[in-house]
Amino acid sequence: MRALVERTALDLREKFVVKCRIADSTGVSVHSSGFKRRFQRRAYWKLHAIVDYAPWAHKLWFSVARATRGAVHDVVIGRRLLEKTPPSELYADKAYDDKKFYKIAFKHGFTPCMQQRKNAARRTGVRGKIWRSYDDRKRKKYRGRIEAAFGGFANRYHSRINERKTSTRRRACEMWAITHNIRTLAKSLQIYLWDRLLEISPATIPMRLNN
């Protein structure tokens, strides 16, 4: 599943120019049947992802995606995802405000533009570098773009899975990212074929169709 997400993302990068990448996660509820205790918390999962954004083509697809249990913190998986995607400008929320995350980002060539927590430590070293390069206008412009992909999951799947086993739950969440990438790739191929069809002279269309 993970290899298929990265493969489809690679095909999309060859067709469109990526402006930036956005890191975030979304919650996935688990529909459980049978008896439940009154005060028992419903289990939920998380889909962690780094999304490629191509604003000139109005395209958004998943570069890497990982599904985990809900108790796993975003920044823990975010450090691993940085190693699986090419460097560019990186946008994320305050959940990724972590010194190790910043060091890995700079090590792999990323340019983070992230808002730090108000109770953060002294802004020196790596934190100071992030703070000096922080641009709130660009963050507000690009940070919320990932919600379009997550919103599609809420519309199509209601952000809920019905599987019982842990392995199938993980695959079901990551399958959402695959379907989104394949849908984006199919739409781009359809537009490409339509443009090529318009380039053909109308007089030669019946001749080519017969051949």
Phi and psi at residue 111, in whole multiples of 5°?
Answer: -120, 90
Cβ-count burial of 29 within 10 angstroms (0-12 exposed, 13-18 middle, 19+ buried)?
Answer: middle
Beta bridge partners of 50: 23, 64
DSSP letters for 140-190:
HHHGGGHHHHHHHHHHHHTTEE---SHHHHHHHHHHHHHHHHHHHHHHHHH
- For the record, the structure tokens of 59 come out as 């395209």
Q: By the 8 A CB rule, do 149 and 180 touch?
A: yes
User: Which residues are CB-contacts of 147 (< 8 A; sequence separation ≥ 6)?
Assistant: 24
Report the alpha-carbon angle 186-191-196, nearest 5: 125
Overall pTM surpassing 0.85 (yes/no): no
Q: Which amino acid is at 47?
A: L
Beta bridge partners of 60: 53
Tens place of pLDDT per residue across the chain (211 aa) = 889 999 999 989 998 999 999 999 999 988 765 445 554 566 789 999 999 999 988 899 999 999 999 889 999 999 999 999 999 999 998 889 888 999 999 999 998 888 887 777 667 778 888 887 788 888 888 988 999 999 989 888 888 888 888 889 999 999 999 999 999 988 887 766 666 666 765 555 554 445 5
